Amino acid sequence: MPLKNELREIECPKCWVTMKQEEVEVLGPNIIIDICPECGGIWLDHGELKKLLKNRKLSDYLTKHIGTQSKSKLVCARCGWLMDIEPAEDVEVDVCLKCGGVWLDYGELEKLKAISKAGFKADELAKAEERWEELAQKDRESVLLGLFRRLSRR
């Protein structure tokens, strides 16, 4: 396993200043997260949110099956890819569609911890709706194509 310290420093996706690396004690090996000295935002690489929240359900909900649509204006601080916004109650987390990195605005980690403590109930309906929307978009073309083929066989 490569040492996290060897990862290059990253820039805040909002302020473009170099973020400060900070070691955090978690269960298992400590993790090093990146904190912006300007806005106080936190960058978490894939898997770090789970360790910080100690809540698999909540972190999986935020970072798994996020689809391909990008609703976020941010680009990933780690890989430069598009990000999407994933909501959990009143918190909106930015997640990279490629590497699964997570951006938390100042104070959002505390809010997520509170949500986690209160017992998070996943909004499966909203999640399913989003997935359906995406499928529908992809299907529209193939449905039209199929219709056209059926009509042209007559």
In the chain, which ranges are continuous DSSP H helix? 48-53, 56-63, 108-118, 124-153
Q: Residue 101, interface with Zn ion (CB under 5 A)?
A: yes
Nearest distance, CB of residue 105 and Zn ion, angstroms = 9
Residue 123 and residue 84: Cα distance in Å, rounded?
Answer: 17
Judged by CB under 5 A, the chain residues 107 through 126 that form the site for Zn ion are none
Q: Which is nearer to Zn ion, 81 or 132 (CB)?
A: 81
Q: Does 16 bind Zn ion (CB under 5 A)?
A: no
Q: Exposed/middle/buried for 85, CB within 10 Å: 0-12, 13-18, 19+?
A: middle
- Cβ atoms of 37 and 19 within 8 Å: the answer is yes
Integer CA distances (angstroms), 24 to 31, 45, 48, 148, in order: 5, 13, 10, 58
Binds Zn ion (CB under 5 A): choice among 7, 15, 126, 144: 15
Q: Does 38 help bind Zn ion (rule: CB under 5 A)?
A: yes
Task: Measure the CA–CA gap between 115 and 52, rounded to whole angstroms.
Answer: 13
Question: In terms of CB distance, is 44 or 120 closer to Zn ion?
Answer: 44
**Binder of Zn ion out of 52, 61, 78, 88 (CB under 5 A):** 78
Nearer to Zn ion, 51 or 89 (CB): 51
- Minimum CB separation of residue 143 from Zn ion in Å reads 33
Six-digit token string for 47 = 């898997």
**76 is an interface residue for Zn ion by CB under 5 A:** yes
Does residue number 46 form part of the binding site for Zn ion (CB under 5 A)? no
Footprint of Zn ion (CB under 5 A): 12, 14-15, 36, 38-39, 41, 76, 78-79, 81, 96, 98-99, 101
